Structure 1
């Protein structure tokens, strides 16, 4: 029945074309005969008719086919002619010509109002060719079930490479049912064009990977710049801390030694006084060495390396005058730059805030989640000065920003809350999957 209707549609097409040729012939006879005379008109008439009909069919045949489909709901091409056309499209022309040609073959061969060729790219389907063509640009759907659920899609045939989905052929026939002949034709086209579509999909996937590689290279360069800037900030912080912590002590120690040398040299100073001067010099030297050890622990805290930021903060708060409660359930270790960045800022904030033993306990919460490693310090002491704290943490905040993080200070109710965070990874994430598995 379907084949009979198709043949009837082809016959109607022939009748319409034939009627058009007769009409052109009659018009040209009526125009040329009075102008050229019977003999010259008879000689030129076949050439004129051929030229006019050829030009008219090129422009009007698609409109005739569309008119026939609208009125008969059947295609003018048989499945066999459609398959032959599809084979010709696959063998000849470039890929840019072959893909729209295959979509056109599907539309004309099945009598569909719309045919789309979808390529599997990464974890989604992207429209590569549409007939009739539109100006909407490439469309994207998540997977085959989503494609089947679309209102403009009535039948889909996947193109598989083993278990891997490479492409999908889809048609929309809102005015007519999808016949078994339509299904067979689409499957045959999918089988015939399978190798072509696989190569196109692999080429598209390669382009996607090249684009992703460029993005990763740019992100890697930005990561290296952030780390370089963080090292510069850390060097400046270290120079400032050494200068601030040791300048006065070195000056006092030098004075004690110069006094001892002077007392020993004049010969009149009692030995007991010289010994006292040397004892003060030794005490100053011990204090200076202890200060250097403290700075060294801050530069490279062994506990931070071994136990992580929670363990290092536990050791730090044990020597602070004010009580500090630490809540940390991190579950995993992160890169040294990330852990140390949060640790140094938190340690500096605690050293600034925990100076009065009578104040309520500080609350410190460390957490990993949402792609971030964060530290929250809550201070409920009255009169806490957020601006003063921000000034004291200027270098630590600069280091945090260099690594891609941020610090926020806010007054919430009766508490001052400090929130600092860094991304939980400094290097870009590379997806090593070779391809995305498709569904049958």
Structure 2
């Protein structure tokens, strides 16, 4: 404010001195040249007209001198609007938006002026005057109400496209009032630059959507790679399960059938036939065949559990828990059916955890709680007397953890007794967390690259 007073006083003094010099010189020179006569009366009027013409010619030089001496540049609403129009006609945004911020600051005497653009339901500071320091990112606010509540915003004018907010202009004048002239100037600049600001906001929103589309494409490729790895892991597990189920049991079944065949292969009149031995071999073969069929049923249930498809993961896990050698207590629910991929992800990881924590009948009760909260499915498995250490459980469930990662979830294993020694045992808790919908998660970085230098 002091600089403005000094600048105005200096400008008035320079103008007065210039006019006085012009009057004195013209009046004295014409008086000597023309002498006394009727024209002498017109000389002061001619001098004043020439002083006015000369003042208009030297006004920019006077302004530069005043600005150089006082470091204050005097502007008027008319000059500000003219400068804003020139900025709007600029061919590049690097000149237009920062120029508009400078026009607002100079025209209103504000210490800070910011041009905000509406991008992805947020307001992003695209340009400001004075310019921020190097390396500073664009400021963002959630909405216009939050912007108006900021302590560094003394006046704001929104730029609307119908009923849609496209931009906003703000000024900061600490310790000075917002005059009606300031309000009118900001409003006129907003109206004049409305088309430019709408176009810039739409371009920024389009750029943000393109960036999000690129992120979604990258996430899709990464998800496909994770799913491919999960399928390969599942294929290897299935091959291993089939191998373990068939190799030893089929060999024993083949031996028992061969033994029975050898005994029954003699002629009926041959006294060497041992019917008891043959019957015993067939009995063993039948038992082995029943075990093999049960094992195949178990594998088939693990590959495609019909109960999971028909009734959901809680019922399927209850069926698995019934076959556990130790008691299992299930609690909670998922609040309805989910996508099959999510339900199967929960089922397989919990079933694998049951296998890793199977133990014996005297190892205590396993506690399993299912819940759905904050758009996520959460399963907690507590083993009060775990024999395996948390590190061993992480290794045993590595494949299932990879499956969860492919679905956007995670698996954590913690222990109250876990110390620097990873072989310790005690109470163990497994926590499974999955999103309740199959949607790629892409973080929004609105305004990260929007700052106009």
TM-score of the aligned structures, taking structure 2 as reference length? 0.74
Q: Does structure 1 conserve the Cα–Cα contact (< 8 Å) formed by 2:381 and 2:430?
A: yes
CA separation in 2, counterparts of 1:310 and 1:201? Answer: 49
Q: Does structure 2 conserve the Cα–Cα contact (< 8 Å) formed by 1:328 and 1:367?
A: yes
CA offsets 1:377-431 (integer angstroms, 9 cap, x no match): 22234x7343665565454445445655223141459952231324315541479
Q: CA, structure 1 residues 235+57, in 2 after alignment: closer, same or farther (shift >3 Å)?
A: farther
Q: Does structure 1 conserve the Cα–Cα contact (< 8 Å) formed by 2:264 and 2:273?
A: no
Give matches, 1:238-277, under 5 Å.
Answer: 238-267=238-267, 268=270, 269-270=272-273, 272-273=275-276, 274=278, 277=281
SS at match of 1:67: coil
1:122 aligns with 2:113: no
CA separation in 1, counterparts of 2:400 and 2:289? Answer: 30
> What is the aligned partner in structure 1 of residue 95 from structure 2?
97
Give matches, 1:40-439, under 5 Å.
Answer: 62-63=67-68, 66-67=71-72, 76-135=74-133, 137=136, 138-267=138-267, 268=270, 269-270=272-273, 272-273=275-276, 274=278, 277-370=281-374, 372-381=376-385, 384-386=387-389, 392-393=396-397, 395-397=399-401, 399-400=403-404, 403=407, 404-411=409-416, 416-424=427-435, 425=437, 427-429=439-441
CA separation in 1, counterparts of 2:154 and 2:398? Answer: 63
Q: CA, structure 1 residues 386+77, in 2 after alignment: closer, same or farther (shift >3 Å)?
A: closer
User: RMSD across aligned C-alpha pairs, in angstroms?
Assistant: 3.7
Q: How many residues align?
A: 390
Q: CA, structure 1 residues 160+65, in 2 after alignment: closer, same or farther (shift >3 Å)?
A: farther
CA offsets 1:289-335 (integer angstroms, 9 cap, x no match): 22211110111111112222211111222233432110122114444
> What is the aligned partner in structure 1 of residue 40 from structure 2?
none
In the TM superposition, residue 62 of structure 1 has moved relative to its aligned partner by 4.4
Give the 4+ runs in structure 1 shifted more than 6 A: 8-11, 17-20, 53-59
SS at match of 1:266: coil
CA offsets 1:8-50 (integer angstroms, 9 cap, x no match): 9778536548979x9xxxxxxxxxxxxxxxxxxxxxxxxxxxx
In the TM superposition, residue 168 of structure 1 has moved relative to its aligned partner by 0.8
Q: CA, structure 1 residues 285+57, in 2 after alignment: closer, same or farther (shift >3 Å)?
A: farther
CA separation in 1, counterparts of 2:91 and 2:393? Answer: 70
CA offsets 1:124-158 (integer angstroms, 9 cap, x no match): 22222222333254322333233333343221111
TM-score of the aligned structures, taking structure 1 as reference length? 0.76
CA separation in 1, counterparts of 2:124 and 2:15? Answer: 39
CA separation in 1, counterparts of 2:171 and 2:294? Answer: 80
SS at match of 1:118: strand
SS at match of 2:348: helix
CA separation in 2, counterparts of 1:160 and 1:390? Answer: 55
Structure 2 unpaired stretches of 5+: 21-57, 419-424, 445-453
Structure 1 unpaired stretches of 5+: 1-5, 23-52, 69-75, 433-440
Q: CA, structure 1 residues 112+319, in 2 after alignment: closer, same or farther (shift >3 Å)?
A: closer
